[in-house]
């Protein structure tokens, strides 16, 4: 088994040119939590080294963000595209394969690190195995209990996939009210186009299960969700949440042989529907915003950079101020970073939020609900704001857009 796995790993690392650029681009390397080049060299040596890698904390400290791949010379056109879309190394998927192997073979971290890192959820196998047994449906209809003006369907051609927002609200109750607004805003936007979306209780997309290495749970979730939409006669799926979008668009088709849906990010869907012309009020405002390119919507999703910007920028009086690191060069908070807070991870998040603040924009706009919660947490808990610095207000992309509807 290890021999077969070694050949999978070799396929990834055989393209590496040993240049070290990934170390220079990796946010966790800057904190001392991960050495991507060192990890690749360890993997290259022999199976003893592979075991060493699997037993170490390194693979759990990776944010799976592919920032390191943007300037990797194995990418013919750069930009860190995911395997299958471009060519060359794919660090995130290599890490995912290593985690999956460790997960499936019950390999746990042996060397307790001096600096425990970001991805400790990966070691919490008991939680994940419990979820395999129950795989609960996620109730989302409560969002629409008091909204008689919104139109939803139980079956139909176009669905809006909400994902596990209720779970996120449970984890971050302090920011729950903010997250509550997301499903309402998306449905309102779609209704404005005279689209009544299918909104039914589904299961989690399985994004986190896939990236912690629990492939079995991920596949079960994918199969359930696909079957549920097939039964509801759905043909097109619209998603705002970047992680769920990435999962439906790229990861589900890899495990579901008869996958036959059109999957759109909400921003792309609205561009195609000529939304701005049809649905936006033309009243002047004077508002500035900065926009966060998450790895899931950018580097790891074929690069959805323009549509979210173009739609907001076309609003009269709304001005975009870019962050210093934007588009393929943007940073993330990481997939699972809040499970273990230490001085290094704190510093990473503080640096990210400083970059947002440095724009001087009034709003910080994101299509990742976790980022919304993380950003608010960092501002409220990790900064000492004696200088009264103006803090950009975090808003979900659709919630912000919703303010400008006719």
Query: Taking contact as CB under 6 A, which single stretch among the options 19-27, 46-54, 139-147, 372-380 is the one that binds ligand SF4?
Result: 19-27
Q: Minimal distance in Å, beta carbon 107 to ligand SF4?
A: 19
The interface region with ligand SF4, picked from 34-42, 119-127, 247-255, 296-304 by CB under 6 A, is: 34-42
> Interface residues for ligand SF4 in 84-113 (CB under 6 A)?
89, 91-92
Nearest-approach distance from CB 324 to ligand SF4, in angstroms: 17
How many residues in the shown chain lie near ligand SF4 by CB under 6 A?
27
Distances 306 to 48, 208, 269, 288, 371 between C-alpha atoms, Å:
45, 26, 13, 17, 20
In terms of phi and psi (left: phi > 0; alpha: psi -120 to 50; beta: otherwise), the region of 66 is left
- Beta bridge partners, 365, equal 291, 395
**Interaction of residue 16 with ligand SF4, rule CB under 6 A:** yes
Smallest gap from Cβ 18 to ligand SF4, in A, equals: 5
Find the shortest distance in angstroms from Cβ 396 to ligand SF4. Answer: 24
Binders of ligand SF4 among residues 63 to 82 (CB under 6 A) are 63-68, 72-74
Binding mask 231-260 for ligand SF4 (x = CB under 6 A): ------------------------------
CA atoms of 223 and 69, how far apart (whole Å): 31
18 binds ligand SF4 (CB under 6 A): yes
Q: How far is residue 203's CA from residue 48's CA, in Å, rounded to a whole number?
A: 39
Which 115-144 positions form the footprint of ligand SF4 (CB under 6 A)? Answer: none
Closest separation between CB of residue 29 and ligand SF4, Å?
Answer: 6
Number of H helices, E strands in the chain: 20, 7
Residues 125-131: contacts with CB under 8 Å, at least 24 apart: 125/214, 128/103, 128/209, 128/212, 128/214, 128/217, 131/209, 131/217
Residue number, 68 or 401, with CB nearest to ligand SF4 = 68
Is residue 335 close enough to count as binding ligand SF4 by CB under 6 A? Answer: no
Helix/strand/coil (H/E/C) assignment for every residue in 180-230: HHHHHHHHHHHHHCCCCCECCCECCCCHHHHHHCCHHHHHHHHHHHHHHHH
For 140-176, b/e burial (b = at least 16 CB within 10 A) is beebeeeeeebbbbeebebbbbbbbbbebbeebeebe
Among 9, 12, 26, 140, contact with ligand SF4 (rule: CB under 6 A): 26
What part of residues 207-226 is at the interface with ligand SF4 (CB under 6 A)? Answer: none
Q: Is residue 336 a contact point for ligand SF4 (CB under 6 A)?
A: no
Q: 20, 32, 139, 360: which one contacts ligand SF4 (CB under 6 A)?
A: 20
Q: Does 53 contact ligand SF4 by CB under 6 A?
A: no
Q: How far is the CB of 355 from ligand SF4 (least distance, A)?
A: 16
Edge-to-edge strand list for the sheet holding 287-291: 318-320, 287-291, 363-366, 393-396
User: Where on the chain is the footprint of ligand SF4 (CB under 6 A)?
Assistant: 16-22, 25-26, 28, 34, 36-37, 40, 62-68, 72-74, 89, 91-92
């Amino acid at each position: 088994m290890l021999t077969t796995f070694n050949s999978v790993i070799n396929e990834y690392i055989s393209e590496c040119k040993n240049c070290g650029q990934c170390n220079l681009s990796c946010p966790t390397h800057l904190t001392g939590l991960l050495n991507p080049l060192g990890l690749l060299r360890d993997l290259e040596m022999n199976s003893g080294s592979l075991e060493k890698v699997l037993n170490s904390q390194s693979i759990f400290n990776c944010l799976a963000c592919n920032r390191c791949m943007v300037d990797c010379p194995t990418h013919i056109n750069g930009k860190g595209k995911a395997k299958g879309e471009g060519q060359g190394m794919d660090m995130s998927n290599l890490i995912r394969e290593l985690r999956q192997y460790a997960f499936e073979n019950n390999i746990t971290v042996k060397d307790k690190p001096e600096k425990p890192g970001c991805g400790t959820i990966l070691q919490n196998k008991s939680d994940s195995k419990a979820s395999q047994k129950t795989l609960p449906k996620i109730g989302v209809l409560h969002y629409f209990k008091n909204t008689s003006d919104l139109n939803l369907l139980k079956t139909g051609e176009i669905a809006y996939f909400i994902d596990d927002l209720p779970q996120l609200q449970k984890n971050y109750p302090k920011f729950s009210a903010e997250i509550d607004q997301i499903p309402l805003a998306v449905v309102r936007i779609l209704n404005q186009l005279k689209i009544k979306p299918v909104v039914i209780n589904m299961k989690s997309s399985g994004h986190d299960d896939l990236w912690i290495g629990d492939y079995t749970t991920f596949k079960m979730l994918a199969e359930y969700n696909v079957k549920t939409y097939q039964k509801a006669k759905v043909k097109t799926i619209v998603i705002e949440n970047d992680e769920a979008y990435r999962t439906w668009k790229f990861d589900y088709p890899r495990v579901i042989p008869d996958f036959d849906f059109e999957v759109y990010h909400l921003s792309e869907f609205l561009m195609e529907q000529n939304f701005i012309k049809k649905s936006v009020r033309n009243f002047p405002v004077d508002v500035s915003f900065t926009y966060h390119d998450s790895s899931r919507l950018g580097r790891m999703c074929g690069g959805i950079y323009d549509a979210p910007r173009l739609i907001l920028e076309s609003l009269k009086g709304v001005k975009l101020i870019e962050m210093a690191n934007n588009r393929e060069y943007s940073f993330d908070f990481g997939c699972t970073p809040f499970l273990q807070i230490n001085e290094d991870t704190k510093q990473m998040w503080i640096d990210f939020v400083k970059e947002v603040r440095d724009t001087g924009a009034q709003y910080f706009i994101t299509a990742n609900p976790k980022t919304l919660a993380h950003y608010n947490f960092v501002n409220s808990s990790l900064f000492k704001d004696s200088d009264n610095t103006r803090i950009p207000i975090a808003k979900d992309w659709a919630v912000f857009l919703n303010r400008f509807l006719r």
